[in-house]
Amino acid sequence: MTQEELFKKLIAHCKEYGFIFPSSEIYDGLGAVYDYGQNGVELKNNIKRYWWDSMVKLHENIVGIDAAIFMHPRTWEASGHVAAFNDPLIDNKDSKKRYRADVLIEDYLAKLDEKIEKEVEKARKRFGEAFDEEQYRATSPRVKEISEKRDAVHARFAEALNNNDLAELKQIILDCEVVCPISGTRNWTDVRQFNLMFSTQMGSTAEGANTIYLRPETAQGIFVNYLNVQKTGRMKLPFGIAQIGKAFRNEIVARQFIFRMREFEQMEMQFFVQPGTEMQWWNEWKNTRMAWHRALGFGDENYRFHDHDKLAHYANAATDIEYNFPFGFKDVEGIHSRTDFDLGRHQEYSGKKIQYFDPERGENYVPYVVETSIGVDRMFLQIMSAAYCEEKLENGEERVVLRIPACLAPTKVAVMPLVKKDGLPEKAREIIDSLKFDFNVAYDEKDSIGKRYRRQDAVGTPFCVTVDHQTLEDNTVTVRHRDSMQQERIAIADLYAMVERETSFRELYKKLK
């Protein structure tokens, strides 16, 4: 199965099993907007909990807030979003399809990278045991040729982005002979800038309505509350403010399912530090965040850092944590050193002094900021991509299993009476009653036990508990484990402790630095 086929199956699975539906689907959906279904919302809430606890619960010096989506319009002038929150767009005149010029070039560069890797793999097969990868990369004329081409395009690309040189971006697309995937032609328009913010009106027009924006990031809600939190919480530097909330971007090209949405959710933490210490904190947060991802156990080799080619207008260092999605390595989270840009600009635009009195230094200054910013939906897709697994069983049957870490799974336990009579359903309900205040529990009495297991595997339920006639005699049940499919007999009296131990976030938190 190709990665593309796998991704299509994953999308279909998300819909079929109540994880994600297209928004307003009965009206044929709305571009790049999605709804979370009965299982999706549970997984999403668990992801948010993992993030929130790892920030707010596990750090004495990080507190949370929940700011409004609407903000004073001056906020977005101060932040630079009105002037500069743009993407370069380009149209293909034949297919009439619109693309992000930077993404077309990034995809072209990724293809060259792929070519290099293919050469290396071919050589590995050819040379067998004796293969020296480092030497091959350094000396193969073919690899050298592709690498030089790649580096030259990359250098031009980075410079064009940093200079906002739209004509050069187009020229790179022409020189690299990038074709439209739909029409297959190179008939491109000029590159234009496109502002990604959604705007709306507040108040009635008669009264003189104000144009306001749907926030394109949650960060600004934190910056404008910096003084409130610092003063009321008597916070000392370094300290952080965390927030989870919706953000909106009028993305030019919405692709890859929930990877790029127009309405999405962010989990952001702004960490305020002494000027001059920001690089140290940036490195620290890079490591902390990487550890958070890796703790989920999806394989360290599937994550990497990728430094930005173009620094945003506010940043002096920026990196992404990328995950190996079915469509390649793509960013899930950004870790940015934002300097004193945001607080400094809000100080200037609001006329209010936004500073910190440092008792050790005996001076006032505008703190520097290191931000960690991750999309809930992208994290959701990352987990689904990593967890989705098709397996052939010993008896020849196939199963789809979601290997979601137990603490994140939407349902923890499914309780199943072997038959719908003889008092077994009643006994199953008793077990549910003993668990339901603390865990998400499902009841299922329909179809054969095998089919019921398959249904629970498909939504990632870690434990199935079967109640049979023996249960009525000795108060034991069969517990079947999702990943190993092993079954064990345990006493009902021990069930609660087992589920608590296996599904708690505790073990995950212990792995974090």
Interface with ligand ATP (CB under 6 A): 249, 251, 260-261, 264, 266, 331-334, 373-375, 377-378
State the DSSP code for 224.
T
Q: How far is the CB of 307 from ligand ATP (least distance, A)?
A: 12
Q: Return the number of the residue (245 or 405) whose C-beta is nearest ligand ATP.
A: 245
Distance CA 375, CA 256 (A): 14
Query: Nearest distance from residue 309's CB to ligand ATP, in Å?
Result: 11
Please, what is the minimum distance in Å from the beta carbon of residue 357 to ligand ATP?
31
Return the number of the residue (60 or 66) whose C-beta is nearest ligand ATP: 66
Would you say 143 or 219 has its CB closer to ligand ATP? 219
Q: Please say which residue, 306 or 455, places its beta carbon nearer to ligand ATP.
A: 306
Tell me whether residue 156 or residue 293 sits nearer to ligand ATP (CB atom).
293
Query: ∠ CA 56-35-378 to the nearest 5 degrees?
Result: 50
Residue 75 CA from chain centroid, whole number: 26
Minimum Å gap between C-beta 170 and ligand ATP is 20
- Residue 477 carries which DSSP code? E
198 or 505, CB closer to ligand ATP? 198
CA distance 218 to 196: 15
* Residue 31 or 299 with smaller CB distance to ligand ATP: 31
CA torsion angle 51 53 56 59 (round to 10): -100
Q: How far apart are CA 273 and CA 59, in angstroms?
A: 15
Degrees to nearest 5, angle at CA 380 with 441 and 27: 90
Q: Which residue blocks in 311-423 are alpha helix, DSSP H? A: 341-350, 376-387
**164 vs 504 by CB, closer to ligand ATP:** 164
Structure tokens at 458: 């498909």
By C-beta, is 339 or 373 nearer to ligand ATP? 373
Min. distance of Cβ 423 from ligand ATP in angstroms? 50
CB 375 within 8 A of CB 264: yes
Query: What phi and psi, each to the nearest 5 degrees, are found at residue 495?
Result: -65, -45
Structure tokens at 415: 């309780």
Q: Min. distance of Cβ 321 from ligand ATP in angstroms?
A: 8
Closest approach, Cβ 383 to ligand ATP, in A, equals: 13
Any bridge partners for residue 318, and if so which?
336
Cβ proximity to ligand ATP: between 160 and 479 the closer is 160
Whose tokens are 């410079």? That residue is 159
**Nearest position to ligand ATP, beta carbon:** 375
**Coil, helix or strand for 292?**
helix
> At closest approach, how far in Å is the CB of 400 from ligand ATP?
25
Q: End-to-end alpha-carbon separation of the chain, Å?
A: 38
Closer residue to ligand ATP (CB): 17 or 264: 264
Nearest Cα to Cα of residue 507 among 333, 297, 299: 297
| β-bridge pairing 398-402 and 317-325 | unpaired
Residue with the two structure tokens 């000027």: 275
Q: How far apart are CA 95 and CA 104, in angstroms?
A: 15
**For the purposes of burial, counting CB atoms within 10 Å of the CB of 405, is it exposed (0-12), middle (13-18) or buried (19 or more)?**
buried
CB of 34 to ligand ATP, least distance (A): 10
Q: Token pair for residue 273?
A: 């530090």
Contact 410, 448 (CB under 8 A): no
CB of 490 to ligand ATP, least distance (A): 41
Q: How far is the CB of 257 from ligand ATP (least distance, A)?
A: 10
- Give the CA angle between residues 203, 205, 208 to the nearest 5°: 80
